[in-house]
Chain A
Amino acid sequence: EIVMTQSPATLSVSPGERATLSCRASQSVTSYLAWYQQKPGQAPRLLIYGASTRATDIPARFSGSGSGTDFTLTISSLQSEDFAVYFCQQYNNWPRITFGQGTRLEIK
């Protein structure tokens, strides 16, 4: 099983600042990496797939980068609605898809 490790577990950032979230795979997943946002009481929402492609209607302030084992989700200028939990997911090893444990992005 490919283990996805996200860091940090909690990130405190002020509105308007940049947030950088990391996701590391225990072995290469090439570019088969997705990011999701989840707000309290809601289902996850797809943000990024293919490591760097924004999903439909996702604002340009969200960007994804990386390949192989190390990936980054960057939110360039945090808005109030961006404070949530973010998950990464690898799909290189389908059907043995795995998710990271999440990073909680909170208001500083």
Chain B
Amino acid sequence: EVQLLESGGGLVQPGGSLRLSCAASGFTFSGYAMNWVRQTPGKGLEWVSTISGGGNSTYYADSVKGRFTISRDNSKNTLYLQMNNLRAEDTAIYYCVTLGHSGYYFDNWGQGTLVTVSS
């Protein structure tokens, strides 16, 4: 059974930093591209970032480019999201998600971790 467990969310001031982690199990982690997707009541669901299985290729939404960095440690089956220069509009639930086997849809989701950016 695929399991994705996010951690690292919390309250941070504008301009601050936070690192999210996602521990994966139940599948061959290095064989899957991994993603972060976020959700807010106002803007709904928003794709944030994707990293290839080997970690060589990364992709970002324009809204986070230059501020967020996605990475992975395949030896630890763990996905990361380093978030710098955080803004109020980054407040959201962040989900760790696997990419589908036949397209860029989102197959398995973690339970999410809440990030709140506020002074």
Residues of chain A whose beta carbon lies under 8 Å from any beta carbon of chain B? 32, 34, 36, 42-46, 49-50, 55, 87, 89, 91, 94-95, 97-102
Contacts and interface: CB of A to CB of B under 8 A. Distances in A.
By size class, the interface of chain B is 20 to 34
Contacts of A98: 47
B103 A43 contact: no
B95 A99 contact: no
Given A89-B106, A94-B104, A99-B47, 19 more contacts: A34-B106, A43-B110, A44-B45, A44-B95, A44-B106, A46-B105, A46-B106, A46-B108, A50-B103, A55-B107, A87-B45, A89-B45, A91-B104, A95-B50, A95-B59, A95-B60, A97-B47, A99-B45, A102-B44
Q: Which 10 A-B pairs have the closest CB atoms?
A: A91-B104, A43-B109, A34-B105, A99-B45, A94-B104, A95-B59, A97-B47, A49-B105, A101-B44, A91-B105
Interface of B: 44-47, 50, 59-61, 95, 100, 102-112
Chain B contact residues: over half helix, strand or loop, or mixed?
strand
A10 to B, nearest CB: 15
Contacts of B61: 95
